[in-house]
Chain A
Amino acid sequence: MAGYIIKRIAAMVPTLLLTSFLIFIIIELPPGDYFESYLAELRASGELIDSAKIEFLRTEYGFDKPFLHRYWLWLTGMLHGDFGYSFEHERPVSELIGSRLFFTILLSFLTIIFTWIVAFPIAIYSATHKYSWGDYGLTFLGLLGIATPNFLLALVMMYAANVVFGVSIGGLMDPQFIGQPMSVEKFLSIGAHLVIPVIVIGTAGTAAMIRRIRANLLDELNKQYVVTARAKGVPPFRGLVKYPLRMSLNFFIADIGGILPAVISGAEVIAIVLSLETTGPLLIRALKTQDMYLAGSFLMLLAVLTVIGVLISDLLLAVLDPRIRLEGKALK
């Protein structure tokens, strides 16, 4: 097992290296750099230009060096915890993203929990009541969840929550709590504000998960050992829970790897629409102003988060399912 974990972690390294290179290419693609647009802006507004400072920043961050060299600087910097410097906010990137990243992780985590709680009973119901009206209705509802653009769902639900429950619109907490130390009220306020994003981000993933678990559970229920158990007089509920359900549970865990990128994607868009203080709005702003280190480090951190999430799901799967082969090659 330990060998498997080490191997799995070692396999992450090339993946992350490739990811970082890809991201660096993307943030380098736009012509010009932040300083050019910044200088143009200053000139247009007729402000004084502190060219010494800009030259200093340019050299400090290696804008005069060739592409690969800059990539190397960025990469090694990140390994030391130096994620670069946000030119727009004039602060190191790591200072900017700390708390925001925490909320992104919290949001993604809660969303996955929500997905599980909702998908699990519905999938079991759908599989055990195959082709019933309830099954059709739930399947259709799930498809509707996939088809509705989540940003619009977020807007409408935000409005509904405001009218029905009096939750203030947008943000992660009621305005009076911003900057306050953590208290019970603040905690509750954050909780109330997280409900909508979690539901909205979760809908699409939940629907997809229900479909997969339903299919898996149906496969399992058609196997002969289930028939044998029924024939021997095992009560239906026990006959369902004892083995078929446990077998399909594996897909629950394995699915994290599949839905995590989608959850993080969704979290970014929803955060922009609902102006949550997560990474989303900061990222889009950084992308628009070519604040490249901020944007690049963000993308990189999101990728790392996803890769770690997938790793955790793989490890859990290996623990839960003894049939998963840790060694050897995949079957052809």
Chain B
Amino acid sequence: MTDQPRQQSDGQWHYVSDAPFDPYEEPAISAGQERYYMASQWRLMWWRFCDHRVAVVSAIFLAAIYFVALFAEFFAPYDLNERNPRAIYHPPQGIHLFHEGTFVGPFVYGRDYALNMETLKREYTVNRDIVHQLHFFCRGTPYRLFGVIDAERRLFCGAETAKIYLAGTDRLGRDMLSRIIHGARISLTIGLFGVAFSMLLGIAIGGMAGYFGGWVDYAVQRIIEVLQSIPTIPLWLALAAIMPVTWSPIAVYFAITIILGLLDWTGLARAVRSKLLALREEEFVMAAQLQGASPRRIISYHLIPNFMSHLIASATIAIPGMILGETALSFLGLGLRPPITSWGVLLNEAQNISAVVLYPWLMLPVVPVVLVILAFNFMGDGMRDAADPYSET
């Protein structure tokens, strides 16, 4: 910098620095920053999601539990309906590692069975002399994986004669742990299908309301208001009650997912609508309109991808409600019915007070319900934060 102003070519006097000027010198960004600035939106979301540690743990937990549900036959020690009349209302057995001070690996103690002639209660007493070791990747009851692959390996089972019931048995002597693992299939997928269905409805209806506005918007708004003002459970009950008893279990399963989705789309439709109202004023929409794109194309190709991440996040938060809804419906006997096994159907068995008092392990299916719902909530929170990666935290 010189201390005297100099006359420039335009005749004005300015102070001008003599130092050499390199236009590319200033924005020297580190490799990390560059990576950040060049990252795509989805990548940014991914990073933001990974910052949310509880959400990541929840996501891993959910992935694991879905994996177990997928290969339920392998992970469950017994078949879904395998009965053992000698072990009715068998209490859960604890896994031990040391027998009389020596390490023998995971095992359970045997039980002696006696029928109490006064109370007619089956009593199982721990017999510390019998040691049943757990065998891993052993041959259990043969099964067909996915209905095609014949297999008989299971994650663990007892020896030939010794039955192992880590979560106890029910009134027919069926292993609760196996039933919980098999039930996961239905309980975990019903929420996904229900949400998929409600997302479909929400995007279609909310999209129409937001894009067309006017009386379409007004009508949709009123319908949403009505649906949100009716208490859901009684309505679910009513819809579930009209299902003919003669329907096959599969039909009932799909009907329940549709019922769950049918009342749940309102929140999503609202979100879609308000986003669309804001976005349809943008210039890229006008450009598309001028090029003659149809409303359907504009909504689905130009508008929806803009807030898909938000939609996925809100859909995730809706899943726990559906899982609880199915559980409540099945618990009340209006949802799924045996032979379909879901966590709600299993809990239906624990409906009476005697189960709570005498056979509390019948309530064990509530543990996965609570864990899965917590995990979905945490993961949904993380996804919601990540859905808008440009915002400040």
- Give the B-binding residues of A (Cβ under 8 A): 14-15, 18-19, 22-23, 26-27, 29-31, 143-144, 146-149, 151-152, 155-156, 158-159, 169, 261-262, 264-266, 268-269, 272-273, 283-284, 287-288, 295, 298-299, 302-303, 306-307, 310, 332
B231 and A262 contact, CB distance less than 8 A: yes
B231 and A264 contact, CB distance less than 8 A: yes
- Give the A-binding residues of B (Cβ under 8 A): 222-223, 225-226, 228-235, 237-239, 241-242, 244, 277, 320, 324, 327-328, 331-332, 334, 347, 350-351, 353, 356-357, 363, 366, 369-370, 373-374, 377
B373 and A146 contact, CB distance less than 8 A: yes
A155 and B356 contact, CB distance less than 8 A: yes
- Complex Cα distance A288/B238, Å? 9
Query: Which residues of chain A come closer than 8 Å to B334, judged between CB atoms?
Result: 284, 287-288
A306 and B231 contact, CB distance less than 8 A: yes
Query: Which residues of chain A come closer than 8 Å to B377, judged between CB atoms?
Result: 143, 146-147
Known A284-B332, A284-B334, A287-B238; judge A155-B353 contact (CB<8 A): yes
**Chain A CB within 10 Å — which of B320, B328, B366 has the most?**
B328
Cross-interface CB contact of A155 among B226, B241, B350, B370, cutoff 8 Å: B350
Question: Nearest CB to that of A19 among chain B residues?
Answer: B226
- Complex Cα distance A306/B84, Å? 50
Question: Nearest CB to that of A160 among chain B residues?
Answer: B356
Query: Which residues of chain B come closer than 8 Å to A158, judged between CB atoms?
Result: 353
- Complex Cα distance A332/B273, Å? 12
- Across the A-B interface, how many residue pairs have beta carbons closer than 8 Å? 121
Known A26-B239, A30-B242, A283-B234; judge A151-B328 contact (CB<8 A): yes
User: A-B pairs with the 9 shortest C-beta distances?
Assistant: A287-B241, A265-B233, A147-B373, A30-B242, A264-B231, A265-B231, A261-B231, A147-B370, A29-B242
- Complex Cα distance A143/B320, Å? 12
Min CB gap A115→B, angstroms: 16
Query: Which residues of chain A come closer than 8 Å to B320, judged between CB atoms?
Result: 146-147
Known A15-B226, A19-B226, A149-B366; judge A269-B231 contact (CB<8 A): no
Known A18-B223, A155-B353; judge A303-B230 contact (CB<8 A): yes
Query: Which residues of chain A come closer than 8 Å to B328, judged between CB atoms?
Result: 149, 151, 269
B353 and A169 contact, CB distance less than 8 A: yes
Known A144-B370, A261-B232, A272-B332; judge A299-B238 contact (CB<8 A): yes
Known A15-B225, A15-B226, A273-B351; judge A152-B366 contact (CB<8 A): yes
Known A265-B233, A284-B237; judge A147-B374 contact (CB<8 A): yes
B277 and A332 contact, CB distance less than 8 A: yes
B347 and A287 contact, CB distance less than 8 A: no
